Chain A
Amino acid sequence: MKYARVYFDEVKVGDELPPLVKGPIQQIQLTRYAGASGDFNPIHQDDEFARAAGMGGVFAHGMLSMGFVGQAVTDWSGAGTVRKLGVRFAALVRLKDVVTCRGRVVGKSSKDDAHLVELEVWAENQRAEKIVTGRATVALPSRT
């Protein structure tokens, strides 16, 4: 399904996105994300700092997990289709965690030339605990 074109007409409420599995999360990925995003908060890099801050050690940028969720959506709907992506960061992602992103179609609507699909999206860790929950809206092409 990756990079295949999905059409509005063929999408049904209840359809599920192919799960996207990321990880195990390694320190080097957090360092790389810090460089790419400009978020150099030491809480994601320096275990001693994170412990002293009462966080029990280093954890991943929430925005990295949101990036994973965005990828799960666009692997299915296509790059450039996202109109809205909103999440709540529900739990911390730790080193060695495996993050699985999922999504489900919860609504469809057409207005003028825009054909919109509403998705419930979330990501969970290897213990099936939700680390991110949210919603996305994508604009899809129509065959008609």
Chain B
Amino acid sequence: MTIQINKALLGKEYPPYAVTVERGKIKEFARAIGNDDPLYLDDRVGAASAWGDVIAPPTFSITFRDEAADTAAFLKELGTDISRILHGEQEFEIFRPLQPGQTYLCRAKIVDIYEKTGRSGPMAFVVRETSIADGSNEIVATMRGVTVVRL
């Protein structure tokens, strides 16, 4: 049975949400990948570096979630559920590495929704862009994710 995606979400901007990066989360994330780079893990190496502290790995901002938002509710609004979604593409642009103790403001927007039929049947592609700004409202990173919905 195929499902219909709610294309009315195209262009939707979500309320900004703040994320404060915890030192331990950076280390937990690096270790979960199996990355033991001391610039992520060793506070002394971080302090002696050009950044003055440890930094986050390039994909770390994928952990930035709106605590007030409910993933299940978002998927329901989209017209699907978690069993039908796959991660199609992901891109990060990083102007300055993310660092512990900093609070970042994230703004997400649905920038494209399109459908295609692939080898495994009809699919919808939902493209979401998120900008990440630091305390002085300067954008330090952006991310763009494509969620594939099996229709």
Pick from B32, B65, B92: contact of A33, CB below 8 A.
B32
Interface presence of B89 (CB below 8 A): yes
* Interface size of B as a range: 35 or more
Interface presence of B101 (CB below 8 A): no
Taking the nearest CB of chain B, how far is it from the CB of A34, in angstroms? 9
Q: With A43-B83, A85-B92 given, is the CB distance from A70 to B63 under 8 Å?
A: no
Taking the nearest CB of chain A, how far is it from the CB of B49, in angstroms? 8
Binds B, one of A10-18, A59-67, A105-113: A59-67
| Residues 33-62 of B contacting A (Cβ, < 8 Å) | 33-35, 37-40, 49-51, 55, 57-59, 62
Closest to B148 in A: A89
Q: Total A-B residue pairs with C-beta atoms closer than 8 Å?
A: 112
Closest to B146 in A: A88
CB pair B89–A84 under 8 Å, yes or no, is no
* Interface size of A as a range: 35 or more
Q: With A83-B95, A84-B94 given, is the CB distance from A53 to B86 under 8 Å?
A: no
In the complex, chain B residues whose CB is within 8 Å of the CB of A43: 82-83
CB pair B34–A22 under 8 Å, yes or no, is yes
Q: With A32-B32, A70-B58, A82-B58 given, is the CB distance from A88 to B82 under 8 Å?
A: no
In the complex, chain A residues whose CB is within 8 Å of the CB of B82: 41-43
Q: With A67-B33, A86-B90, A88-B88 given, is the CB distance from A79 to B59 under 8 Å?
A: no
CB pair A79–B37 under 8 Å, yes or no, is yes
Residues of A at under 8 Å CB distance from B?
3, 22, 29, 32-33, 35-39, 41-43, 49, 52-54, 61-64, 66-68, 70-71, 73-75, 78-80, 82-89
Residues of B at under 8 Å CB distance from A?
25, 28-29, 31-35, 37-40, 49-51, 55, 57-59, 62-63, 65, 82-95, 97, 144, 150
> 9 more A-B contacts (CB under 8 A) besides A41-B82, A66-B59, A79-B39?
A3-B37, A29-B34, A41-B85, A61-B87, A63-B87, A75-B37, A79-B40, A80-B39, A87-B89
